[in-house]
Amino acid sequence: MEYLIEYGMFLAKVVTLVLAVIVILVALASAGNRQRKGAAKGHIKVTKLNEHLEELLDSLKKAVLDKHRLKLDLKSKKKQEKAQGKSERAATRSDSDQEEERKKRIYVLNFKGDIAAQAVASLREEITAILALATDKDEVMLRLESPGGMVHAYGLASSQLMRIKAQKIPLTICVDKVAASGGYMMACLADKLVAAPFAIIGSIGVLVQLPNFHRLLKKNEIDYETITAGEFKTTLTPFGEITQKGRDKVKQDVEDMHALFKQWVKDHRPSVDIDRISTGETWVGIQAKERYMVDELKTSDECLVAACESADVYEVEYELRKTIHDKVGSIFRGMIEAAAATFMEKNDSRNFYS
C-alpha cells in the first residue's frame, strides 16, 4: 500500500511537470503570434563611433592621469567645446552652403556571413537607409567576415554592394578574419580592400557535393521514384542512381559557374593574375597582397581610428525584431556553441602549441 502511495505521488509530480511545460510552450507560442501581428520587421540603430572612442579615451585618462593633469585636460576640452559652440551659433550660412562645407561622413556596416548569407536581410535595409542620405563625398566602410556559401545568396549580397557603387559612393571593405569564396566575391567590389596580415583570403572556386544512398536502397530492395519533365531537371540526387550523363552535366555547370566567378573578380580587380589565383586556394593577407588581391594590410580598428580623426563616423545596424521563439532558440544555440567552443579549446590546447 505504501508503495502505491509513493508511486501515485511520483506520477502526480510527473504529470504536473509535463502540464507546466505545456503551459509555458503555449504561452510562448501565443506571445510570439501577438508579437508578429502588425509588428515592424526591425529598426535602424546608429552609433557615432567618434563619441565611442572619446568615451574610451576619457575612461583611460581617469584611470591613468593624476588629478592635476586630468583637471587641465578637462578644462582644455571644455574650452574647445565652447569655442566650437560659438562658431556654430554664429554661422548664418544657408543649408546648401552648410552641406557643402560639412565634414565627411563614413557609414560603417558589418556583415558576418554564413553558408546562406542570411546577414543580407539586414544589409539590404542598411544600404537602403544610407543611400537615402549619403553623397559621393561620403564613404561606406564594410567590415566583412565570411567563409562563403551558396552562389545565389552571395550573388544577392554582392548586388547590394553594387548599389553603393552605382551611386559613386566610395566603398572600403575591411577583412579581419576571412573573406573566402562568396566572401571574396563581395570583397573584390571594394574601391579599397583592406585585410589583416593573417586574414584568410581567396578560395575562388566552386564546389558541389552530396552523399548518394542509391546502392544502399537497392541492396535493401527499396525503390525510389522520381518523375520529371526536362532532360536535366535532375542530375545528382541523394537517392537516385548517378549516371555519367548527369555527372557530366553537373561538372559542366560547375565549370561555367567558375568561369563566371573568375570573370567577376577580374572585372572588379583587373590588377590580379586571375589564372594564378583562381585555383580554389586561400592565402593569408600578406600573401594576398603580394598577389594584388588586397590593397592594404591593416585591421578594421586601425581604419576606424584613422577615420574618426577627420570624419564623422557612424555605425549603422538594422536589427531584425526577434520573436520569443527566436530569443529562446538563441539562448539554447548559445549554450550549445559555448559548450562546443570549450570542448574544441581544450582539445586544441592538447594538440597545438604556439
pLDDT, tens digit, for every residue of 91-123? 555 555 555 678 899 999 999 999 999 999 999
Cα distances from 143 to residues 132, 205, 262, 317, in angstroms, run 21, 23, 23, 12
User: In the Cβ-directed half-sphere of 261, how many Cα atoms lie within 13 Å?
Assistant: 31
- Separation between Cα atoms, residue 310 and residue 304, nearest integer Å: 10
In this predicted structure, the answer to whether residue 340 has a pLDDT above a threshold of 80 is no
H or E element in which residue 74 lies: helix 67-90
Phi, psi torsion values for 48, nearest 5 degrees? -85, 110
Contacts of 121 (CB under 8 A, 6+ apart): 320
pLDDT in the model for residue 177? 97
- Separation between Cα atoms, residue 297 and residue 190, nearest integer Å: 14
Q: CA Rg, the chain, in Å?
A: 28
Under DSSP, the state recorded for 38 is: T
**Which residue, 162, 163, 155, is CA-closest to 181?**
155
pLDDT tens for 232-264 read 888 888 988 888 998 999 999 999 999 999 999
Contacts of 325 (CB under 8 A, 6+ apart): 28, 29, 32
| Residue 277 in grid coordinates | 589565383
Instruction: Give 148-185 as a DSSP string.
Output: ---HHHHHHHHHHHHHHHHTT--EEEEEEEEEETHHHH
Instruction: Give the relative orientation of helices 49-64 and 67-90 as an angle to the nearest 10 degrees.
Output: 150
- Separation between Cα atoms, residue 301 and residue 194, nearest integer Å: 11
**Looking at residues 118-136, what average pLDDT do you find?**
96
In this predicted structure, the answer to whether residue 316 has a pLDDT above a threshold of 60 is yes
pLDDT in the model for residue 17? 66
Residue that is written with C-alpha cell 580587380 in the block: 269
In this predicted structure, the answer to whether residue 354 has a pLDDT above a threshold of 50 is no
| Residue 163 in grid coordinates | 548599389
In this predicted structure, the answer to whether residue 126 has a pLDDT above a threshold of 50 is yes
Phi, psi torsion values for 135, nearest 5 degrees? -120, 175
The sign of the CA dihedral 173, 177, 183, 185 is positive
Q: Assess whether 30 carries a catalytic annotation.
A: no
pLDDT tens for 144-198 read 999 999 999 999 999 999 999 999 999 999 999 999 999 999 999 999 999 999 9
Least confident of 18-27, 199-208, 281-290: 18-27
Q: Assess whether 48 carries a catalytic annotation.
A: no
Bridge partners of 253, per DSSP, are: none
In this predicted structure, the answer to whether residue 204 has a pLDDT above a threshold of 60 is yes
H or E element in which residue 317 lies: strand 312-320
- Separation between Cα atoms, residue 334 and residue 327, nearest integer Å: 10
User: In the Cβ-directed half-sphere of 264, how many Cα atoms lie within 13 Å?
Assistant: 24
Least confident of 126-130, 208-212, 298-302: 208-212
| Residue 4 in grid coordinates | 502505491
pLDDT in the model for residue 146? 97
**Which residue, 155, 207, 206, 146, is CA-closest to 180?**
146
CATH architecture, domain defined by 40-67+102-203+281-324 = Alpha-Beta Complex (3.90)
H or E element in which residue 350 lies: helix 324-351
**Contact status, residue 172 vs residue 194, Cβ threshold 8 Å:** yes
pLDDT tens for 10-58 read 666 666 766 666 766 666 666 555 555 545 688 999 999 999 988 888 8
- Separation between Cα atoms, residue 149 and residue 340, nearest integer Å: 22
- Separation between Cα atoms, residue 157 and residue 139, nearest integer Å: 18
**Contact status, residue 299 vs residue 198, Cβ threshold 8 Å:** no
| pTM (two decimals) | 0.76
Where in the chain do CATH 3.90.226.10 domains reside? 40-67+102-203+281-324
* Active-site annotation holder among 37, 67, 219, 233: 233
pLDDT in the model for residue 100? 61
What percent of the chain is predicted at pLDDT more than 70?
73
* Active-site annotation holder among 122, 146, 158, 181: 181
